[in-house]
Structure 1
Amino acid sequence: MHVERTFTVSRSIDDVFDYLSDFENTNEWDPGTLETKRTSGDGGLATTYANRSEFMGRETELAYETIGFDRPTFFSARGKNKTATATDTMRFTRDGDRTQIHYRADFKFHGIIKYVAPIMVKGKLDSLADETVEQIRTTLESARP
């Protein structure tokens, strides 16, 4: 199951990549994130993060690792726990002095939840994706980063 969105922000591709590829910044742009901390690495490939999120009223922890990093056009991170694997992939395209972002989040559920997730979760993921786009826009187009 996945969600994806394409949108444009009024920031340079370098600024956008640097900000979104530092996964600790999910604290600011991901509405579901409660806290993300870097646990190892320099921010590039194989950097790991501990993420604590809330979804549908439940708190969960995922161990993320940067699995794709090609500055300034591509970033991907995969988070895992016993019930799910989440992969966030972002592609960046220069659009003059603006940047087009193609954001995709893939979710693979494990155990019994994989049978009920398509019914119970899909609509919530779509809403969360819309919220995430708006939060990324707001954050990137403010004075920060």
Structure 2
Amino acid sequence: MVDREIEDVFDFLSDFENTEHWDPGTIETRRLSGDGGIGTTYRNRSRFMKREVDLEYETIGHTRPTSFVCRGRNGRTTATDHLTFTRDGDRTQIHYRAVFDFPFPVNVIAPVLVRRPLEKLADETVDQMRKTLEA
């Protein structure tokens, strides 16, 4: 829950270039095409478990001010970020879920190898998102 209007929260978080501010793993995100709505594409460079990863994201869901979905791919991995927003007076509740699909055989061992680092990153992301929005 953040002390910001739902429209402001949606506008900031659905502009995926802002991941540099709220996602601690992001090194850089740049818009490649589009106006921010469905079909907009971004190039994202992130660091995870001491490795740099490049993904090309596409906005696949955009319903202002309640829902945003962006899917990133790099040929091997797919990451889908789901953000939903609900209003509580002048405050906004953010629900964030990132889903990762790994290729075989990584998909078999990933739950064991990356579960804890992903949980840690998720906690850090929620904390950074809240701090950024309330600054």
Give your verdict on TM over 0.5.
Answer: yes
Structure scoring higher RCO (CA < 8 A, sep ≥ 6) equals: 1
1:23 equivalenced with 2:16 (yes/no)? yes
**Residue correspondences, number:** 135
SS of equivalent to 1:28: helix
Q: For the Cα contact (< 8 Å) 1:63–1:80, is it kept in 2?
A: yes
Supply the distance in 2 between the matched residues of 1:115 and 1:94 (Cα, whole angstroms).
39
Shift of 1:41: 0.1
Alignment correspondent of 1:121 = 114
Q: In the aligned structure 1, how far is the partner of 2:89 from the partner of 2:112? A: 41
**Residue identity (%):** 63
Within the candidate set 13, 22, 25, 2:6 is matched to 13
Question: Which runs of structure 2 are paired with 1:41-52 in the superposition (5 Å)?
Answer: 41-52=34-45
| Runs (4+) off by over 4 Å | none
Compute the displacement of 1:83 (Å): 2.3
Matches within 5 A, 1:34-113: 34-113=27-106
Deviation at 1:112, TM superposition (A): 2.6
CA displacement at 1:111 relative to structure 2:
3.2
Letter of the structure 1 residue corresponding to residue 24 of structure 2: P
Q: Which runs of 5+ in 2 are unaligned?
A: none
- After superposition, the CA RMSD in angstroms is 0.7
